[in-house]
Amino acid sequence: MSNEELAYDFSPMIKVYKDGRVERLNDTDRVPPSTDPKTGVQSKDVVISQEPAISVRLYIPKSTTATTTTSAPQTKLPLLIYFHGGGFCIRSSSSRRHHNYLNALVSEANVVAVSVDYRLVPEHPLPVAYDDSWAALNWVASHSDGNGSEDWLNRFADFQRVFLAGNSAGANITHNMAVKLGCERLVGVKWIGIVLVHPYFWGTEPVGAELTTPAAAREYMAGVWRFACPSTSGSDDPLINPAKDPKLGQLGCEKVLVCVAEKDVLKDRGWHYSETLKKSGWNGAVEVIEAAGEGHSFHLEDPTCDNAVAMEKKIVAFLN
C-alpha cells in the first residue's frame, strides 16, 4: 500500500492518510501570547489540566493595567469564554487569526477573555473537544469566589456577566456548552449570553436554500461531522442538529446573538436555529444578523472590512 493513500480528504482543512499520518493544511500559523502593540491588550497561556492536557489563553484589556501595579479597587469587567473554529480538527487558541481577532474584540468591548485550547480531531475524536471545553468552564467557575488559581480572573472578571462565543465549530461548542449549563448549573456564575458566529450545524433534511446546495457541499458538511465524531448517529445527532435536541429549551443563558453570512453554505442553519429556539420553550431573546455578500469566517480573513467592523460593533454592544 502506498503511504500516499488517503483515508480522509477534507481539503482545504485536513488530510488523513491510511498509514495514520495527519496533514493539517490550513491556518497552522501560531503566535505566542504578548502585549499587543496596537491595542495594549495583554495575553498569557495557562495550563488548566495536566492530565488531560488542556490550556487556555487569557486576555485582559489595557484598562486593567492602571491597577495591576497598585492595590486600588478594580472595576470588574464582563468575562468572555471563546471557542475557536476549524472543523474540530485544525487551529488553536494560539492561531494568529484568532489571537488577532481576540486582541481587537477584548480592546473594543473592554472585557476579559478566556480562549480555550481544546484537543483536536482525529487524534482526539469528539466528544473530547466538548469534554475539554466543559473542563475549561468548570476551571473558570472555580474563580467566582475570587480565590481561584489565576490572578487575572480573580481580580478583573465579573462572574455575574459571563458570555460564551465561538465561530463555526467553536459556535457549535458554544451552543452545546450552553445546553449543558442549562442542565448542570455551575455555582457562582451568571451566564448572560452566547454569540454564535457562522455556527456549524447540520441536518439530514435540507432547510432554506440548502435545497439547491450542490450535493458535494452537503456531503462535505455531513462528512466532516462523521469524521469528527465517529460515534455519532449522523447529521441528526442533537450535537450537530439542535432542532433534534429535546433539551434545546433549557439553554442556559438569557440572550443569543447569531451571526450569519449570505454566501456561507451554513447560513440557513443559523436562521433555522433561531426559529427553532423561539419555538422550544426557551424564554430568552435571540437575534440574527446577516452580512451581505460575505462567506464563511470572512471576519477572520479580512477583519477591517466594513461587514467585519459592523459585526464586531454588534458583538461589542451584546457583551456590554
Catalytic residue set: 168, 264, 296
Cβ within 8 Å of residue 157, ≥6 positions away:
76, 77, 79, 112, 143
Left, alpha or beta for 90 (phi > 0: left; psi -120 to 50: alpha)? beta
* Rounded Cα–Cα distance for residues 27 and 120 (Å): 14
> Buried b / exposed e across 283-308, counting CB within 10 Å, b at 16+?
eeebebbbbeebebbbbbeebeeebb
- Name the residue with cell 445527532: 237
* Rounded Cα–Cα distance for residues 220 and 9 (Å): 10
| Alpha carbon 41 to its chain's center | 20
Cβ within 8 Å of residue 196, ≥6 positions away:
165, 166, 171, 174, 175, 256, 257, 258, 259, 270, 273
* Rounded Cα–Cα distance for residues 89 and 39 (Å): 30
Count the neighbouring beta carbons within 10 Å of the beta carbon of residue 212. 7
Q: With contact defined as beta carbons under 8 Å apart, do 105 and 112 qualify?
A: no
- Name the residue with cell 492530565: 51
Q: Which element (helix H / strand E) includes 79?
A: strand 77-83
